[in-house]
Structure 1
Amino acid sequence: MARRFLVKEIALQAGVGLATVDRVLNGRAHVREHTRKRVEQAIRELEKQELQLATAGRKLIVDVVVEAPSRFADEVREALEAELPGLHPAVFRPRFLMRETMTTEEVVETLHAIGRRGSHGIFLKARDVPGIADAIGELQRRGIPVVTIFTDISLSGRLAYAGLDNRVAGATAAWLVGQWLGKRRGSVLITLSDERFRGEEEREIGFRRALRQRFPQLALIDASGGHGLDAATEARVRSVLAKHADIAAVYSMGGGNPAILRALGGRRHPVCFIGHDLDRDNVRLLREGRIQAVLHHDLRQDMRSACQRVMSFHKLLPAAAVSPSSSVVVVTPENIPEHIASRFR
């Protein structure tokens, strides 16, 4: 199957040398396993892009670097791939690096490697820490634009941010919690995957501020730090529940909702449970009535905006034609979008 593509095309897609691709294709020794997998993934990516590459237009290679649970990373990949055919006059060739957890050093080295081999742009979901911000600044000096997606790194030299207004999302969640609980007193359990993801931090800021102003009778209990991964999230929530038994509501900003519900176990079910993103888990939990609302934003619109930002940077699109990022949408069991519901039946 790989023989459909030139070795130099595979090498460009994989971000490795010609000799490395040759060794992988011919089954030779002295190739590290993760390098072999990267070449194999590059071939699969080229196969998906084959029809699009046949069309006219300037070809832009973009690197998609995402630290997120696989359930969300898969949604990001599918959203971007769905947008690719309509992004004229450019033809995008994405290279994906998606991992559930990455150290700061791994993210920085990944960005440095992209800078060395070249790219027309980077879509980045990573933590807001100095080392990563510095690496983005270095890419900017090299002329490689970085668009942060879904969680921002604002003081970094990034070109733009594409994603939800997270403070508005947090304030919306606070309003919903207040409407469900009314005047009753109680505790609201909140969870972030990692406070260094600025998007989730912005949600928390918006939530805390709105709750304090509108519903001061409600107390917050923080069970953050599970990285959105089920085992770690469940452990964090169980640890907090050992000290706080009465939970009236849950606002999950970082995912892992099945794990949160397992940790709650036989306790009195929260009056309301609000999550983020319409992934497979959340659609199922909505249908089962185990969570009451999901704050959803259109990933395709956000990825379209990110691509158009890169097109504008390369003078292929006027800045005025760039689509805005998505708005927050409150989804309940009664209004799950059909195109999403049909995917998870």
Structure 2
Amino acid sequence: MEIGMRRPNMSALAKEAGVGLSTVDRVLNGRADVREETARRVLDAAERIGFYATPLLRQRLKADLPQRTFAFLLQQKSTAFYKLLGEALQKATDECALVRSKAVIEFMDDLTPGAIAETLLRMGRIADGVAVVAADHPNVTAAIETLSSKSIPVVALISDLTAASRAGYAGLDNRKVGRTAAWFLSNMLPANSTVSIFVGSHRYLCQEACESGFRSYLRESAPDFVLIDPVATLERDEYAFEATLNLLRQRPGINGLYIAGGGIEGVLKAVREAGRERTLPIVGHDLTETTARGLIDGTLKIVLSHPIDAIAKGTVELLVERSLQPQTGWQYAHQNYPMQIFSPESL
């Protein structure tokens, strides 16, 4: 709030909501003689003007709603993207108007399928619904089937899974993402260029789809390009750093990179160390402090990003919907969101 501005009071809230001061008082004090539609209008107005008791209003409106706990299983907290995603999921859960919802956010350092399956089963003991970022594997599928048999919906987040009983998927159309990356690189580079794609693991279906889209576009529209074998980063910056240095030593004439998996900070560090930041166009994923810095200093040319807030909101809404329905009414929900595209000039 700017110096000299008074914070909005109850009178300002009543005016903004188009109700009387006494109605605002009744909503604030949780009295039952206010229609839900009116109370909702007061809350919406409070959020618009920044009313100091907005959290209390939200709590009052939720008092009679069913309670739900949702678990979100994300990858390493040290990865900037997942830290941002966790914050967005917490916010979306807190702001959910249909239930009194609690978020349990678990950052997983051990990304082996067995460890993820164990975490899924453990979260299933305390949660009414789960969203998970995981590589596709029979162990993960079995855990999802177990939770589904107990009427606990599981949403595949960011990367889809093959478990037939999953409640849905929330993320990008990753084949389009890969084709978009190929379009950018093929228009930045001369004919007969050599390019490579980095993936975290070949078991992530999102990265498999990115690679498939990347290959298909080059095959159709830039058949003279040479695409060398994918480089695996294991989703870790330290592996990505070493893998990039090895690639640049073995392929000094390489012309462009597409980073479809984790470890982009390690890739950028290696490219700078090798002195290739101005001569090696790179397309990466997801706008973070690291990738924004890469765009600004020229190491990155384009970033293809998840709309984190929209995905978080949609994921929570899907979990709420499934948790309030009998399982016989569940239908698989495939939620594709449009990617965001960032260049140095769009920051």
Are the aligned partners of 2:136 and 2:204 in contact in 1 as well (CA < 8 Å)?
Answer: yes
From 97, 110, 121, the equivalent of 2:119 is 110
Match of 2:298 in 1: 289
From 310, 318, 330, the equivalent of 2:341 is 330
Q: 1:77 to 1:142 in 2, by over 3 A?
A: same
Q: Deviations over 1:202-237 (max 9, x none)?
A: 111111111111101111234532223221111112
Q: 1:284 to 1:76 in 2, by over 3 A?
A: same
From 156, 164, 170, the equivalent of 2:178 is 170
Match of 1:74 in 2: 83
Residue 75 (structure 2) pairs with residue 64 (structure 1): no
- 87-96 or 199-208: which moved more? 87-96
Q: Deviations over 1:17-67 (max 9, x none)?
A: xxxxxxxxxxxxxxxxxxxxxxxxxxxxxxxxx966665132210111112
Residue 151 of structure 1 aligns to a residue whose secondary structure is: coil
Q: Unaligned stretches of 5+ in structure 2?
A: 1-54
Residue 208 (structure 2) pairs with residue 194 (structure 1): no
Match of 1:311 in 2: 320
Are the aligned partners of 2:129 and 2:323 in contact in 1 as well (CA < 8 Å)?
Answer: no
RMSD of aligned C-alpha atoms? 2.5
Are the aligned partners of 1:195 and 1:224 in contact in 2 as well (CA < 8 Å)?
Answer: no
TM-score (norm 2): 0.75
Q: Unaligned stretches of 5+ in structure 1?
A: 1-49, 337-345
From 148, 165, 168, the equivalent of 2:156 is 148
Structure-2 separation of matches of 1:335 and 1:61? 38
Residue 62 of structure 1 aligns to a residue whose secondary structure is: strand
From 282, 289, 296, the equivalent of 1:280 is 289
Deviation at 1:86, TM superposition (A): 3.3
From 132, 135, 148, the equivalent of 1:127 is 135
Residue 285 of structure 1 aligns to a residue whose secondary structure is: helix
Instruction: Output the amino acid matched with 2:205.
Output: R
Residue 250 of structure 1 aligns to a residue whose secondary structure is: strand
Match of 1:230 in 2: 237
Residue 102 of structure 1 aligns to a residue whose secondary structure is: coil
Residue 252 of structure 2 aligns to a residue whose secondary structure is: coil
Instruction: Output the amino acid matched with 1:61.
Output: T
Are the aligned partners of 2:158 and 2:171 in contact in 1 as well (CA < 8 Å)?
Answer: yes
Are the aligned partners of 1:150 and 1:164 in contact in 2 as well (CA < 8 Å)?
Answer: yes
Q: 1:99 to 1:176 in 2, by over 3 A?
A: same
Match of 1:91 in 2: 100
Are the aligned partners of 1:191 and 1:222 in contact in 2 as well (CA < 8 Å)?
Answer: no
* 1:238-257 equivalent positions in 2, closer than 5 A: 238-257=245-264
Deviation at 1:93, TM superposition (A): 0.5
Matched residue count: 284
Are the aligned partners of 1:301 and 1:325 in contact in 2 as well (CA < 8 Å)?
Answer: no
Please identify the structure whose Cα radius of gyration is greater: 2
Q: Deviations over 1:228-253 (max 9, x none)?
A: 32211111122233321112111001
Q: Deviations over 1:272-298 (max 9, x none)?
A: 211000111001111112211100121
Deviation at 1:192, TM superposition (A): 0.6
Are the aligned partners of 2:169 and 2:335 in contact in 1 as well (CA < 8 Å)?
Answer: no
Residue 162 of structure 1 aligns to a residue whose secondary structure is: strand
Deviation at 1:299, TM superposition (A): 0.9
